[in-house]
Amino acid sequence: MFSITVVWYFGTLRCYNGEDDYPSRTFCWLQARFMGPNTVAWSKIGCVCFDVDSTVCVDDGINEFARFLRCKEVENITMRAMNGELDLTEALTMRLDAMKPSSMKVSEFLTSRKSNLTPGVRSLINQLRESGIKVCLVSGGLYPFVAKVAEDVGIPLDNVFSNRLIFAEDGSYAGFDTSAPTCQSNGKALVVGELMKRFHTLVAFVGDGMTDARACPPAEVFIGFGGNVERPAVRAATPYFFHSMNEISKFFKSVGLIPKHTH
């Protein structure tokens, strides 16, 4: 039988169930949907996590890498995973097995392109940092690509969480680090939990996919983003859904996460 227990967590009302020991997503959604943004402890949020593919960046790094390698089947696998139709570990395994990326091809890809940043995201990240908010990138993508994006927007690599490739001595593809939480369907929630401990603060999560929505809880709030790809399941998962980084900036200012005078 399903049961829930209501508790106080960082001064806010949260709900736990006996199966996964995380606050009930249904409770958090109903609380935000029907009780409004005042039920979110905005003043206690000291860290904002961003997904990278189709959120911080316009495109998807693995899909772009697959095009670079002329591997056509990867994009459909990515779409199914982001819509919640595939287990994330399974999807990552399928994509990497299809591409079999060597270290040389990864390097060639990195030097051949610039990060395709979503308009307004650099400004939003700067506003958050100027407001004393820690900013992290939490991605199911590949670390070399995500690290490059982090450097482009001024985020320290200690605040980057993504999947690391493993290569053989000759540089051929040998797998990926399966111990990384970001290769798991609930991995972003695990990362958020660790960040809450590291920074001693509540966390907000911004993203376009269902793996991002599942980071809340333990994230205090999930901000859905549909400026590059709008997913109906994600839009239905949160009352906070925006189509531009400028809209998110204005919203953060309206709830006090960013001071209104910040530019």
Cα dihedral value 200, 204, 207, 213, nearest 10: 90
The pLDDT value recorded for residue 196 is 96
Which residue from 63, 79, 54 is spatially nearest to 229, judged by alpha carbons? 54
Give the model confidence (pLDDT) of 48-105 as tens digits: 999 999 999 999 888 899 989 888 888 778 777 666 677 778 888 888 988 899 999 9
Question: How long is the chain?
Answer: 263
Question: Does residue 152 carry a pLDDT above 70?
Answer: yes
User: Positive or negative, the Cα torsion across 221, 250, 52, 238?
Assistant: positive
Instruction: Classify 49 as helix, strand or coil.
Output: strand
Give the model confidence (pLDDT) of 183-206 as tens digits: 887 899 999 999 999 999 999 999
The pLDDT value recorded for residue 38 is 55
Catalytic residue ranges: 51, 53
The whole-number average pLDDT for the span 221-245 is: 92
The pLDDT value recorded for residue 169 is 93
Q: What is the DSSP string of 161-179?
A: EEEPEEE-TTS-EEEE-TT
The fourth-level CATH superfamily of domain 44-254 is HAD superfamily/HAD-like (3.40.50.1000)
Tally the C-alpha atoms within 13 A of residue 54's C-alpha that lie toward its C-beta: 24
CB-based contact 240:221 (threshold 8 Å): yes
The whole-number average pLDDT for the span 25-43 is: 56
* Cβ neighbours, 10 Å, residue 147: 17
